[in-house]
Chains A and B, each alone.
Chain A
């Protein structure tokens, strides 16, 4: 059975700190890994990763995939209170367009 595990479950940091979120997966036919940010209700898309070792960057957020070790990390530098959210990792398998989500990491950034 496909499995996506995120760690930590939650973390609390102060503004300006850097956070690193982890996502490990076991998927039969990997196609891509996606990161989402969920604040109040609907998750918003952050990154999609398909190739190993290539970092994707958007402002203070960056993510990288390691297909050999089956994990991805999401980094947030110089955190702000607006970064407080649940960050979701999802893995898509090649057959059937199935998405498997991790349980999410809750990030709280204190002023």
Chain B
């Protein structure tokens, strides 16, 4: 158990809908990272938040957004869902100054999103 909690574990939704994925980082970790893993593209970095503020942005679509709340949990919002958005969405957290290499990133178990 990495200490990173993601909910829900599985999600099935129809195209055009909107979903919210939730991530609770390890206790004391200030950075939260979101990743998308689909079969054909491997693990793609989406976005990072550090202590409530956006720190880095990767290949995140405009239909997607995220935020980190004062209690440091984070939510990833996916809207206007398309079939191609079906994937595993991982959240990771790390402590310290938000640099993933200094503190190791601990991953949650992921949320599997299926868009039908």
Q: Residues of A at under 8 Å CB distance from B?
A: 31-32, 34, 41-45, 48, 50, 88, 90, 92, 96-104
Contact of B101 among A41, A50, A102, A104 (CB under 8 A): A50
Rounded to whole Å, the gap between the CB of B88 and the closest CB of chain A is 7
Number of residue pairs A-B, CB distance < 8 angstroms: 60
Complex Cα gap A45–B101 (Å): 10
A92:B100 contact, CB within 8 angstroms: yes
B58 proximal to A (CB < 8 A): yes
Rounded to whole Å, the gap between the CB of A85 and the closest CB of chain B is 13
Complex Cα gap A53–B100 (Å): 21
A34:B109 contact, CB within 8 angstroms: no
Count of residues in B whose CB is under 8 Å from the partner chain:
26
A92-B101, A104-B42 known; A97 vs B56 contact (CB < 8 Å): yes
Complex Cα gap A98–B58 (Å): 7
Neighbouring B residues of A44 by C-beta, 8 Å: 2, 107
Rounded to whole Å, the gap between the CB of A35 and the closest CB of chain B is 12
A42-B90, A45-B106 known; A34 vs B43 contact (CB < 8 Å): no
Contact of A41 among B45, B88, B98 (CB under 8 A): B88
A42-B107, A44-B107 known; A88 vs B43 contact (CB < 8 Å): yes
Complex Cα gap A40–B25 (Å): 20
Contact of B107 among A32, A43, A103 (CB under 8 A): A43
Q: Residues of B at under 8 Å CB distance from A?
A: 2, 33, 35, 41-45, 48, 55-58, 88, 90, 98-101, 104-110
A42-B108, A43-B107, A45-B105 known; A97 vs B100 contact (CB < 8 Å): yes
Neighbouring A residues of B98 by C-beta, 8 Å: 97
Q: Nearest CB to that of B40 among chain A residues?
A: A103
Closest 3 CB pairs of A and B: A42-B107, A32-B101, A103-B42
Q: Nearest CB to that of A31 among chain B residues?
A: B101
Contact of A104 among B43, B56, B90 (CB under 8 A): B43
Neighbouring B residues of A96 by C-beta, 8 Å: 55-57
Beyond A43-B90, A92-B100, A97-B100, 20 extra complex contacts between A and B, CB < 8 Å? A31-B99, A41-B90, A41-B110, A42-B90, A42-B108, A44-B107, A45-B105, A48-B101, A50-B101, A96-B56, A97-B48, A98-B45, A98-B57, A99-B33, A100-B45, A101-B42, A101-B44, A103-B41, A103-B42, A104-B42
